[in-house]
Structure 1
Amino acid sequence: MEENEQLATLMRGLRGQNLRDVQFADDSVQLRLVEVDESSEFLPLVYDPASISAYWGKRPRAVATRIVQLLSVAGGFLSRIALDIINKKVKENEVARAIELREIVTSLGPAYIKLGQALSIRPDILSPVAMTELQKLCDKVPSFPDDVAMALIKEELGQPWQEIYSELSSSPIAAASLGQVYKGRLKENGDLVAVKVQRPFVLETVTIDLFIIRNLGLVLRKFPQISIDVVGLVDEWAARFFEELDYVNEGENGTLFAEMMRKDLPQVVVPNTYHKYTSRKVLTTGWIEGEKLSQSTESDVGELVNVGVICYLKQLLDTGFFHADPHPGNLIRTPDGKLAILDFGLVTRLTDDQKYGMIEAIAHLIHRDYEAIVKDFVKLDFIPEGVNLEPILPVLAKVFDQALEGGGAKNINFQELASDLAQITFDYPFRIPPYFALIIRAIGVLEGIALVGNPDFAIVDEAYPYIAQRLLTDESPRLRSALRYTIYGKSGVFDAERFIDVMQAFENFITAAKSGGGEGMNGDMAELGIIKSQTSSVIPWLPQAPSQPGQQVQTRAALAFLLSDQGNFFREFLLDEIVKGIDAVTREQLVQVMVILGVGNAAPVFSMVPSFGPIKLAALLPTITEEDRVILNNVQKVVEFLTAGSSISRASNQGADVTQIVQELLPVLPGISAKVLPEVLSRLTSRVVARLIRDSFM
């Protein structure tokens, strides 16, 4: 029971269910900053431990003052922790101590607030209770004086605020640990803007705290029984935190993010950055009107959640440029029904190995290849290098078997799967890496909004179309390999059901993208439409089978894609399967196929037989094997799908005329292009001749 409660607490933390969303701090919050009279111009503007150490090492009095300040706030807490350990009451007092820790961290200033927020997604470092409580950290603190903010605008932008903004709110509309935000209007064009001004002495306070924490970490390294590498943790986190201190960087992040989304997701908007009026300590961006998506009662909230899912998947699997603060307050529904994403001070960059590794893991999951998944998890940093994988394999296999019970990969309950994976962290050398914790949080935030209006919302079902699109259109060799594996599996046998599953998901993605007006996808589909319009005129010599009700070939999006330049890779191995299907018919059917393909009288082909010597003529009439029947069945399923429900499967059960079958096969063959027709015939002829020689002489 206790373990279940611990797991539930952990999942609440990972999903961000305790994230606070307020504009100002509680009145009781007091922020302790380090105010120095000396110039801070020698402090580094990017994280450099050596430079920070050199600066504060020469100022022992300031360091001593800060240490006394820290101990006065945290001393009582540390003594109570020690007593809990001595009296063996750590578990009993865990919740109370976690609350106390959060309150202390809030008062210690921006470095500790941001570090606490970073630790709130690290179940490998903190207990579930502490992690969850730290998510309540209030980044909103009392505002600093407005005259100080106005003076900083003048110092940073080189002129009084009245020369830049025709109006500016008399007080901030929000205040956080790093800065506060005013609403204004640009003088030059009348645009409404948000003006963020950095809090004084932030750089000094942050660097002195990092200096103290890092030196403490160096001392702790001398005790091998302490497994947490404080120095490594601080260095990893501080480098990104320094980026957040630079508002120029935040503005550029927002601009880059908007460019990445503009082509395929015009439903996603980002505040425009006015770089002319932005500096390291002042950020001017467009003002976004709207309401928080989590609080909106409009009918399109569900659609915008789906847009959000695709947006985060695109970041995760495509751009690798990940918005690292998924928070209800950062997702806004605009009056014209778009999804605005705010705050790009902190972003995470995913490597190609992480992006491709996740898609490869999905492909392995589809085929229940758990040995491959375990290896994927090592690459993705869920399992440390060098760990014995044998004990973990059956545990993961059980978790994934349960997840797949509901109808395959599309119907996986992501949160239940994440919960089961989190459970493993208690008993095995298995961890939730920080980047994946952010993914869980982003999905948790979106899912929480969606479930209010749609209790049946399934995040994986919404995500699958985008994953299919990535598999089909990305030219990376690793994703090409993942696509082939998805269709052929470990056995290397073509699976028509998997093919249809992927193509249906791709069509769903196209439908959603077209309805959203993405210029990239609409442009692609316009190109496919040209191909569709040309289909009937490329092969005027095709004999027409008798028209029957329901037998009209319809060019669907999947077929149009396969016939496009983008579909070339997928078309190549699909062509192999169709050639195998044609090859599986009898001699009489083969003759008819050749006639239909334009070879004419097939007799000349067979007149070559004597030149091979004493060949068994029976070899020209190969029996249909069970493998052949499977191939034919697969081809018929694929053709029926691509021709939007033709009668081929019904006709095949009644001994269909091969002319009719090939009539329906041809639209899916690249033989629509006269340039590729010889390749179709060549493959087919080579296969028949190879079998003829093998069966005759071996």
Structure 2
Amino acid sequence: MRGPHNIWRLVQTLATFERTGANRFVLEAMEAPASVRVAARILGWPFKWLGEKGDESRPPVTRALTALGPAYIKFGQILSTRPDVVGADLAEQLRVLQDKLPPFPIEVAKATVAEELGQPADALFSEFSEPIAAASIAQVHKARIAATGEQVAVKVLRPNVERKFRKDIDAFYFAASTIEILAPFSRRLRPTDVIAHFDSVVTGELDLRIETSAAAEYAANTEADPGFQVPRVVWPLSGKRVLTLGWAEGVALGDNAALDAAGHDRRALGERVLSMFLRHALRDGYFHADMHQGNMKVAPNGDILVFDFGIMGRIDEYTRRVYAEILYGFIRRDYQRVAEVHFEAGYVPADRDVDEFAQALRSVGEPIFGMDASHISMARLLAYLFEVTERFGMATRTELILLQRTMVVVEGVSRSLNPSINIWEVAKPVVEEYIKENIGPKAVVRDLLRTVQVLSRFGPRLPDMAEAALIRSSNPAPESDPPSALKPALWMGLGAGAASAAIGLALLI
């Protein structure tokens, strides 16, 4: 939709960015040529009076986005996970964006509950509090289920939030395409792709069934983790616009005085936050990607409680193995192996020199290992690593960028609880455990078994397909070469036999 609304919203955006002084920071982050920066200032100045001033106590960019409204705030929060797009400095500024907004009336929330769940809120809940937290997309109420007496948290979407976000997202697409046309230098940042990523994330957050599913999956993955809890999902009282979870009772993880007063061991809590994050990322490939203090509490028994599952990260199994080997190589200071892993994974082009790359990696690792324990940072290591790999031609990998950004947050939480925490000492056993289980003889046997399981699905058809392929391949006439549809069958048959033989040999060994 490229109508007057989009044009007017673009003018409002430019005017607000100019009035708050955010234009300069954004253009610097995009590495705009000096001529473009001057032109932007000249073009923006006449419309400056149309823009919002915002809270002048905040940095320019966060002030501008906050003044422009919920969709812009959410966009800034998501951009904070993409330092590869906006740069490290701007990403850090955006990370502190808060989307606390005035709550909407409790009557509206109850009406949404009734419409979504098919019964009046007062029939479903014996207690239903005023809002205890209100953000750009939804607000939370403390309630009690009438049938069971269980205390729960009920998250309810804001009224008409889908339509409001959709209008601004359309304007974002219009702005991105306009920028790509008028400022060709910006194309390397792929503005339209960035908006598409934002669109997909917000679309997920606007359907609370997706967050409900995320909470349930995360809870299933972590239910056996000692000292860690995820609130129970109440499926019958959840839907597209309503999410109900068990109530998380505890002390806010960011309140050190209250933690000390309650007798909790902050040193142990700091180590557990970090080790659990790494374990979930490596073991499960599914991690909470917004683990700041506001989304965690400490239960009376000392368990860490995590909530708000709107932003989750996922890493496939192969990438987890590569990531673990890279971390393990750095922990052992085996830079040659770290370099080889990058080449084996295809992250760095094969025409680059592996020894030069290993030397560059040493320049990343050694200064960090020479630091005092309180200054050693895995997040800093990953940031430096991405800089080096980019110089050697490694393409941006979004899932690792999100992992690195979350690591920055998690390290910050851990250090706020225990300033002297040694990141490597906490990470080493987690990484070693993963390496032992997933990169060794046991992993080889498990992978081969999986391969046989996949091939076995073709079991009834394999003999005939393999026979036909072998007969055709034995005919030297060019016109009777194995058809493309039969060649895979030949290789599957041979592959199944080879895999079975390999598994037998491995088991014997």
TM-score, normalised to structure 1's length?
0.53
1:232 maps to 193
Question: Are 1:210 and 2:169 counterparts?
Answer: yes
Map 1:154-303; keep pairs closer than 5 Å.
Answer: 154-169=114-129, 171-222=130-181, 223-226=183-186, 227-263=188-224, 265-295=225-255, 296-297=259-260, 298-303=263-268
Once residues 159 and 127 of structure 1 are traced to their aligned partners in structure 2, the CA distance between those partners, rounded to angstroms, is 49
> Over residues 69-104 of structure 1, what are the superposed CA-to-partner deviations in whole Å (9 max), with x where a residue is unaligned?
545544645896489933999xxxxxx999222122
Assess, with a 3 A threshold, how the Cα gap between structure 1 residues 369 and 129 changes in structure 2: closer, same or farther.
closer
1:358/1:380 contact within 8 Å kept: no
Once residues 384 and 241 of structure 1 are traced to their aligned partners in structure 2, the CA distance between those partners, rounded to angstroms, is 34
Question: Are 1:417 and 2:378 counterparts?
Answer: no
Match for 1:467 among 406, 431, 437? 431
2:143/2:153 contact within 8 Å kept: yes
1:98/1:130 contact within 8 Å kept: no
1:167/1:185 contact within 8 Å kept: yes
Helix, strand or coil: the match of 1:225?
A: helix
Map 1:71-82; keep pairs closer than 5 Å.
Answer: 73-74=16-17, 76=19, 81=24
Instruction: Give the aligned residue type for 1:175.
Output: A
Once residues 417 and 182 of structure 1 are traced to their aligned partners in structure 2, the CA distance between those partners, rounded to angstroms, is 40
**1:168 offset after TM fit, Å?**
0.8
Instruction: Give the aligned residue type for 1:253.
Output: A
Instruction: Give the aligned residue type for 2:209.
Output: V
1:356/1:478 contact within 8 Å kept: no
Q: Which has the larger radius of gyration?
A: 1
> Over residues 350-399 of structure 1, what are the superposed CA-to-partner deviations in whole Å (9 max), with x where a residue is unaligned?
11232011122234445655344235447889868987777654322222
**1:445 offset after TM fit, Å?**
4.2
Once residues 472 and 429 of structure 1 are traced to their aligned partners in structure 2, the CA distance between those partners, rounded to angstroms, is 31
2:325/2:435 contact within 8 Å kept: no
TM-score, normalised to structure 2's length?
0.71
> Over residues 541-583 of structure 1, what are the superposed CA-to-partner deviations in whole Å (9 max), with x where a residue is unaligned?
xxxxxxxxxxxxxxxxxxxxxxxxxxxxxxx99xxxxxxxxxx
1:403/1:412 contact within 8 Å kept: yes
2:62/2:97 contact within 8 Å kept: yes
**1:255 offset after TM fit, Å?**
1.2
1:122 maps to 82
**1:310 offset after TM fit, Å?**
2.7
**1:113 offset after TM fit, Å?**
1.5
**1:443 offset after TM fit, Å?**
4.0
Map 1:42-57; keep pairs closer than 5 Å.
Answer: 56=1
Instruction: Give the aligned residue type for 1:181.
Output: V
**1:123 offset after TM fit, Å?**
2.5
Once residues 376 and 78 of structure 2 are traced to their aligned partners in structure 1, the CA distance between those partners, rounded to angstroms, is 28
**1:194 offset after TM fit, Å?**
0.8
Match for 2:69 among 83, 105, 109? 109
Once residues 224 and 153 of structure 1 are traced to their aligned partners in structure 2, the CA distance between those partners, rounded to angstroms, is 48
Q: Name which of structure 1's ranges 151-160 and 375-384 shifts more when overlaid on structure 2.
A: 375-384
Q: Name which of structure 1's ranges 325-334 and 139-148 shifts more when overlaid on structure 2.
A: 139-148
Helix, strand or coil: the match of 1:125?
A: helix
Match for 2:270 among 298, 305, 315? 305
> Over residues 121-157 of structure 1, what are the superposed CA-to-partner deviations in whole Å (9 max), with x where a residue is unaligned?
3322224432222122111111123322222122111
**1:284 offset after TM fit, Å?**
1.1
Instruction: Give the aligned residue type for 1:116.
Output: G
Once residues 219 and 173 of structure 1 are traced to their aligned partners in structure 2, the CA distance between those partners, rounded to angstroms, is 41
> Over residues 589-608 of structure 1, what are the superposed CA-to-partner deviations in whole Å (9 max), with x where a residue is unaligned?
xxxxxxxxxxxxxxxxxxxx
Once residues 190 and 266 of structure 1 are traced to their aligned partners in structure 2, the CA distance between those partners, rounded to angstroms, is 27
Instruction: Give the aligned residue type for 1:210.
Output: I
Instruction: Give the aligned residue type for 1:142.
Output: P
1:491 maps to none
Q: Name which of structure 1's ranges 317-326 and 112-121 shifts more when overlaid on structure 2.
A: 112-121
2:270/2:417 contact within 8 Å kept: no
> Over residues 243-282 of structure 1, what are the superposed CA-to-partner deviations in whole Å (9 max), with x where a residue is unaligned?
111111111111111111112x042111111111111111
Helix, strand or coil: the match of 1:140?
A: coil
Once residues 79 and 291 of structure 1 are traced to their aligned partners in structure 2, the CA distance between those partners, rounded to angstroms, is 37
Match for 2:38 among 86, 91, 106? 86
Q: Name which of structure 1's ranges 104-113 and 348-357 shifts more when overlaid on structure 2.
A: 104-113
**1:207 offset after TM fit, Å?**
1.8
1:341 maps to 306
1:152/1:197 contact within 8 Å kept: yes
CA RMSD of aligned residues (A): 4.0
Instruction: Give the aligned residue type for 2:422.
Output: A
Once residues 437 and 250 of structure 1 are traced to their aligned partners in structure 2, the CA distance between those partners, rounded to angstroms, is 22
**1:432 offset after TM fit, Å?**
7.7
Once residues 88 and 120 of structure 1 are traced to their aligned partners in structure 2, the CA distance between those partners, rounded to angstroms, is 24
Once residues 309 and 345 of structure 1 are traced to their aligned partners in structure 2, the CA distance between those partners, rounded to angstroms, is 20
Helix, strand or coil: the match of 1:180?
A: strand
Instruction: Give the aligned residue type for 1:204.
Output: R
Helix, strand or coil: the match of 1:238?
A: helix
Once residues 200 and 450 of structure 1 are traced to their aligned partners in structure 2, the CA distance between those partners, rounded to angstroms, is 37
Instruction: Give the aligned residue type for 2:325.
Output: E
Assess, with a 3 A threshold, how the Cα gap between structure 1 residues 307 and 162 changes in structure 2: closer, same or farther.
same
Once residues 465 and 385 of structure 1 are traced to their aligned partners in structure 2, the CA distance between those partners, rounded to angstroms, is 32
Greater helix share, structure number: 2
Assess, with a 3 A threshold, how the Cα gap between structure 1 residues 468 and 348 changes in structure 2: closer, same or farther.
same
Question: Are 1:131 and 2:91 counterparts?
Answer: yes
**1:308 offset after TM fit, Å?**
2.1
2:322 maps to 357
Assess, with a 3 A threshold, how the Cα gap between structure 1 residues 203 and 377 changes in structure 2: closer, same or farther.
farther
Map 1:558-597; keep pairs closer than 5 Å.
Answer: none
Assess, with a 3 A threshold, how the Cα gap between structure 1 residues 317 and 84 changes in structure 2: closer, same or farther.
same
1:30 maps to none
**1:234 offset after TM fit, Å?**
1.6
Assess, with a 3 A threshold, how the Cα gap between structure 1 residues 442 and 85 changes in structure 2: closer, same or farther.
closer
Helix, strand or coil: the match of 1:173?
A: strand
Assess, with a 3 A threshold, how the Cα gap between structure 1 residues 140 and 74 changes in structure 2: closer, same or farther.
same
Assess, with a 3 A threshold, how the Cα gap between structure 1 residues 160 and 373 changes in structure 2: closer, same or farther.
same
1:122/1:437 contact within 8 Å kept: yes
> Over residues 388-427 of structure 1, what are the superposed CA-to-partner deviations in whole Å (9 max), with x where a residue is unaligned?
77765432222223445689x9x96535534644775897
> Over residues 496-519 of structure 1, what are the superposed CA-to-partner deviations in whole Å (9 max), with x where a residue is unaligned?
xxxxxxxxxxxxxxxxxxxxxxxx
- The answer for unaligned runs of 5 or more in structure 1 is 1-55, 90-95, 482-571, 574-675, 680-698
2:343/2:354 contact within 8 Å kept: no
Helix, strand or coil: the match of 1:124?
A: helix
Assess, with a 3 A threshold, how the Cα gap between structure 1 residues 64 and 444 changes in structure 2: closer, same or farther.
closer
1:502 maps to none
Once residues 420 and 356 of structure 1 are traced to their aligned partners in structure 2, the CA distance between those partners, rounded to angstroms, is 20
Once residues 381 and 241 of structure 1 are traced to their aligned partners in structure 2, the CA distance between those partners, rounded to angstroms, is 32
> Over residues 664-691 of structure 1, what are the superposed CA-to-partner deviations in whole Å (9 max), with x where a residue is unaligned?
xxxxxxxxxxxx9xx9xxxxxxxxxxxx
Assess, with a 3 A threshold, how the Cα gap between structure 1 residues 76 and 449 changes in structure 2: closer, same or farther.
closer
Once residues 326 and 213 of structure 2 are traced to their aligned partners in structure 1, the CA distance between those partners, rounded to angstroms, is 32
